Structure 1
Amino acid sequence: MRAAVPPGALCLGAGLCGALSFALLAASLGTDYWYLLRVDREGGNRSAGEAERLGSHSGLWRLCEGQNACIPLIDPFGIESWQVPTSLQHLISLLTLSGTSIYICYSGAAFTETVRMFDQERFKHVHIAFGWSLALAWLSFGTEGLAGVLFLLAARQLQLKPNACSVSI
């Protein structure tokens, strides 16, 4: 017969997965590496500093061009955002994330089409990629799913145990 993992251990694992998921999501939302545009040095014709100035990286809240020049896209913590009803804030958040996802997909496809239509040699030193902030968001999604599965397994084990929740007098 197979030994079952105690429900308490499953709940502890689910809680740890939930905490890890929250930390990963907070890190991904707070960083500016969702979308990357990198320009190589083009065979030594461009200095490392010039190539770095031509690149950019962006997050959900700001766009950073070059080394330190960051432009805020939206200020989610400004005083104006506190005056918006909570339900509207949730809707705006959902639309922002959806819009960002569509933008990332569209701009990648537009760049690929531009390279195809025009001189491919001109764009061979430009690279567009998703960044590690997006990877953190996906890891957060996975650990949140794992937390849910562990909670369901714990609930199932408690349901199968006879008199697990009854109090004897």
Structure 2
Amino acid sequence: MKVTFGTLVITAGICGILSFAFLATSLGTNYWYIIETNPGNTSDLEDTNYHLGLWSINKGGKMYTVSSDSFTTDSVMYSETKLHMLNMHSAIVVMLPLSLVLLLFGGICGLVSSLARSPVLLTSTASYFFICSLLTLCGASIYIIYSYQAETLVGPENLADVHTSFGWSLGLAWLSYGLELLIGALLLIAAQMAKLEYSRPSMA
């Protein structure tokens, strides 16, 4: 089956819509990090489960603002470390929303470059999506480091009866990252096909 220019750009467009939807859903939900206290006691699960998002924590249906205090028990002992944690969190909440905004503009650029069949515009748009994917990658990676450092602050002795895991919100961010890479690759291939189409008349 021969892959056409139209098939490539349509596939890239669908991937773009999915990537935007995944990242937007990821940013708007509170299942980035899950903390379950006393997992063996089912009667306490509803009251002791924490579902963390980038900006808020869901505990028993009540929402709380995320800060480094959510992970530490003694704010005096960890003042310098807490500042580092806050800086990491600030980087996360800047990179990922910025990547979402760039995805929106990238979709517009992708539509224009596809309609124009311009190799230069298609290549530029592909590079643009690679930059978007880099922001998403950095944001998701920093969040993982941020979470592990938060566990270190709490201490292993305090986590003996606690089960922690990354949630599906983070998984959606990784899916968005993979789709952004795929979009960039598809647009690069489309750019090469458009370039070949422009070169054919000159070869005749």
Identify if the C-alpha distance between structure 1 residues 38 and 165 changes in structure 2 by more than 3 Å, giving closer, same or farther.
farther
Deviation at 1:110? 4.4
Q: Counterparts in 2 of 1:1-169, with a 5 A limit?
A: 4-42=2-40, 46=41, 48-65=42-59, 67-73=60-66, 93-94=94-95, 97=139, 100-110=143-153, 114-115=155-156, 118=157, 123=160, 125-163=161-199
Q: CA RMSD in A?
A: 3.3
Q: 2:30 and 2:201 mapped to 1: Cα distance?
A: 48
Q: 3-state SS of the aligned residue for 1:105?
A: helix
Larger C-alpha radius of gyration, 1 or 2? 1
Q: What is the alpha-carbon distance in structure 2 between the residues aligned to residue 90 and residue 165 of structure 1?
A: 50
- Gap regions ≥5 residues in structure 2: 68-89, 98-138
Pick the structure with more helix per residue: 2
1:80 maps to none
Q: TM-score, normalised by structure 2?
A: 0.57
1:158: how far off? 1.3
User: Measured at CA, do residues 61 and 165 of structure 1 come closer, stay the same or move farther in structure 2, by a change above 3 Å?
Assistant: farther
What's the secondary structure of 1:5's corresponding residue?
coil
SS of residue in 2 equivalent to 1:161: helix
State the secondary structure of the residue aligned to 1:153: helix
Distance 1:155 1:63 in 2: 44
The secondary structure found in structure 2 opposite 1:56 is strand
Question: Partners of 1:9 and 1:165 in 2: how far apart?
Answer: 23
- Contact conserved, 1:108 with 1:128, CA < 8 A, in 2? no
Question: 1:85-118 deviations in whole A, cap 9, x for unaligned?
Answer: xxxx99961399586444212123445xx33xx4
Aligned-partner Cα distance in 2 for 1:73–1:102? 16
- How many residues were matched structurally? 138
Q: Provide Cα deviations, 1:101-136, integer angstroms capped at 9, x if missing partner.
A: 44212123445xx33xx49xx81x311111100000
Amino acid of the structure 2 residue aligned with 1:62:
S
The percent of aligned pairs where both chains have the same amino acid is 37
Q: CA 1:108–1:93 in structure 2 vs 1: closer, same or farther (change >3 Å)?
A: same
